[in-house]
A = this chain, B = another copy of it.
Amino acid sequence: MEELELMIGGPQGSGLDTTGQILTSSLAYIGYGVISDREYYSNITGKHSYIHMKVSPTRVPYDLSYPVKLLTAIDAETLYHHYNDLDENGYIALDSRGLNTTLDRIVTIESYTKKLIGEDLNNRIGSTKLEDIVQYLEDDLSVTAILLDYKLILDRLVDKFGVAASLASRYLSSIPMGVISGLMDIPPEAIEYGVRRRFYGREKIIEHNVYLINTISEEIKSQYGTPLKLPEPKLDMDEVMVVSGNDIVAMGKVVGGLRFQSYYPITPAADESFFIEANQNLGGDKGGIVVFQTEDELAAIAAAIGASLTGVRTATATSGPGFSLMVEALGWAGNSEVPVVITYYQRGGPATGLPTRGGQSDLLFTMFASHGEFPRVVLTSGDHEEAFEDSIIAFNLAEKYQVPVIHLLDKYLANSIATIKVPDLDVYRIDRGLIHRGDGDYVRFDTTKIVSPRAFLGDKAIIWYTGNEHTEEGHNTEDPILREKMYRKRMEKLKLILEETPKKYMYRYYGAEDPEYILLGWGFVKHTCISAVKSLEREGYRGGYLHIKMFTPYPEKDVANILRKVDPNKIIAVENNIMLQAGMATTLYTGIKIRRGVKKYTGRPIYLHELREAVIDLLSNEGKEEVILTYGS
């Protein structure tokens, strides 16, 4: 076994988040590369949630795929969602007490989902009883079922440590960890390391968890051996960071010089602001970062712009509904040439949509949001490393060109935890662009330059800003000639950005130099596409993946050159939306019509196995325009 995919499922509120963090830390401590995606409902307690994790000894395995080798369930419901996700010869762990559960007794499953599951189970097995499902898995897939009495296990805590019986259930999530630890042969000190990190300083909790996990692990090993043990890790990192997308963006922003972040809570963006707040003190003389919870997103962006005018690097973080409310002020920033970064985590739309699920359906919106025309940057990131780098670059672009920068990410990235290299900060520079420090004859909007030097409110010069068209001083004007000049000055920044920005921040190409087909994508589809291309190569399809990072301004010439390597019919956009928005943006700027695509908009990520199939399908059926993916619970 080269890599391992596993899953832990249970109700929201049962500690899955913590489980994911501990396990990832433990595995990272041993030296494995890990990605861990978390799927959950917009609900605080009770609905089904799960962690889908991929572990590799050789790389950071971003390309989540199905089937999984191991499924551990905290509750009975889990198996109903995932019995189809298991690999042959796989393993499941569940509570032996729940075996006579039937589907109709699970109240927390939505009726539609229940109907589908019921139909499928009845067709396949003729029963919805858990016991029968287990039997089926054992028979048909040679799955090994590990049945444990969860209550008895938790009672050990009561017996050994005197934990109150009512509180013992808080340790439920240690049971799957124990099973995983056993089957994978994770050493006890690695588990302890992971637990200790998570519950830093809370010794009792650490003790209980470690005890439980490690004893279960031993028992599992003695009974089942260590069939899921991976080869020794071979990644060349002595040190890794275990971070979610939210975390790493926050870190990038801190390094990039963020000193004022305003926000209004929203999934999946808010965790970034909480992270910054938790780390807002930079150490005595460096001061600290203001993290400001506003009354709404209209205020969040307005406050960020206001703060920026004083010369502070400012940002706000939000998601679709919040950004929709920021649109008017975005135009103000564009008009007044204000550097401000909007970190935008896409989730499933439209409206409230699927608030805790992913999507990539806001690209065209960000490219054209707000009435009127003004320059902006739309920058997107495909993985944690890119996200870190882009978070710094975003500020540089914002200040150098005095434009709002929208850093567009998605929930998949935001909520997945990865083990990545600790970045080397020496490669970064803070580029603040042109700054005017004196007083004298200064005018803020000097039309002799495309980017005129910026002075800060509170420094020596007196400055005016306005949302109206303005004179060089910043006073309202309606003079047609001046209007034309000022308008063009602003818009010409787009050309400048395109000329001056290194290409790697605009797009990246992976794969064959002479491809027969090209996948085109952006954001979190990146590694899944790269892996699909690689894997298809082995089957004789020579292809490439074009990863677009900057959509405004759009690197049209380079992209066109790359895409012209293949017939337009051999370009396949891969996106978490229905319109193929990156494809549309590409057509818009290159004139190359992108007709074909792999689309997924269920809120779940695109998995490698389904992408591979879809690409093969499209490459083998010329007439087919789209494949719509729906895998994942």
Contacts and interface: CB of A to CB of B under 8 A. Distances in A.
A579 B373 contact: yes
A353 B603 CA distance: 38
Contacts of A350: 331-332, 334-335, 370-374
Contacts of A579: 373, 491
Copy tally for this chain in the complex stands at: 2
B471 A112 contact: yes
B357 A331 contact: no
Give the one of A42, A320, A321, A359 with max B CB within 10 A.
A321
Contacts of A479: 110, 112-113, 116
Contacts of A335: 349-351, 353
Interface stretch (A198-206, A430-438, A588-596): A588-596
**How many A residues touch the partner, as a band?**
35 or more
A480 interface: yes
Contacts of A321: 328, 371
A60 to B, nearest CB: 26
A481 interface: yes
B361 A334 contact: no
A484 interface: yes
Interface string A582-610: 00100110111100000001111000000
A428 interface: no
Interface string A325-361: 1011001101110000000001011111111110101
Contacts of A362: 371-372
Interface of A: 41-42, 110-113, 116, 319-321, 323-325, 327-328, 331-332, 334-336, 346, 348-357, 359, 361-362, 364-365, 367-374, 466-469, 471, 476-484, 487-488, 491, 577-579, 584, 587-588, 590-593, 601-604, 628, 630, 632-633
Given A368-B368, A483-B602, A587-B588, 10 more contacts: A110-B477, A111-B471, A112-B479, A112-B481, A331-B349, A349-B373, A351-B370, A361-B372, A483-B601, A591-B593
Q: What are the nearest 10 A-B pairs in CB distance?
A: A349-B372, A350-B372, A320-B371, A351-B467, A591-B593, A480-B602, A324-B328, A352-B467, A331-B350, A364-B368
